[in-house]
């Protein structure tokens, strides 16, 4: 058994903290990864007042096809990223539906 006392739990952070995960396997070029990160930060800043405070992590799960987005700084990539982020932050800021009162499954 450990003789050292357990550390007290850290208080929940106030405000909005943002973590970004943009793997190299999904966006090969550094310029593409940086563009995606800038887009995420801008979207978070625009939607922060609609989101509850806390830790928010945005992770790129699917690769961007190089055949579709030939240039890492293309307008098509910017628009696709912006549209996807808008959808994600809208869904995150939407209130959760309440279960119907008096009904049980």
The CA distance from 91 to 95, in Å, is 9
Q: Which three-class secondary structure state does DSSP give residue 55?
A: strand
Give me the pLDDT at residue 21, please: 93
Q: How confident is the model at residue 6 (pLDDT cuts 50, 70, 90)?
A: low
For residue 18, list its beta bridge partners.
56
**Widest pairwise Cα distance in the chain:** 59
- If one compares 61 and 102, the residue with the highest pLDDT of the two is 61
Give me the pLDDT at residue 61, please: 87
- 1: pLDDT strictly greater than 60: no
Is the separation of the CB atoms in 81 and 35 below 8 Å?
yes
Q: How confident is the model at residue 37 (pLDDT cuts 50, 70, 90)?
A: very high
Q: Taking residues 64-73, report their average pLDDT.
A: 77
Q: How confident is the model at residue 29 (pLDDT cuts 50, 70, 90)?
A: confident
Exposure string of 22-43, with b = 16+ CB inside 10 Å and e = fewer, is beeebbeeeebbebbbebbeeb
Beta strands in 1-105 (DSSP E): 16-21, 54-59
Geometric angle at alpha carbon 15, from 9 and 82, rounded to 5°: 125
Q: Taking residues 62-80, report their average pLDDT.
A: 81
């Amino acid at each position: 058994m450990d003789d050292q006392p357990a550390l007290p739990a850290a208080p929940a952070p106030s405000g909005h903290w943002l973590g970004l995960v943009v793997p190299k396997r999904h966006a090969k070029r550094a310029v593409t990864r940086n563009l995606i990160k800038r887009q995420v930060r801008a979207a978070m800043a625009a939607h922060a007042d609609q989101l509850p405070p806390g830790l928010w992590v945005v992770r790129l799960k699917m690769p961007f096809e190089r055949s579709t987005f030939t240039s890492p700084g293309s307008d098509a990539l910017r628009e696709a990223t912006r549209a996807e982020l808008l959808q994600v932050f809208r869904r995150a800021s939407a209130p959760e539906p309440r279960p119907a009162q008096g009904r049980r499954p």
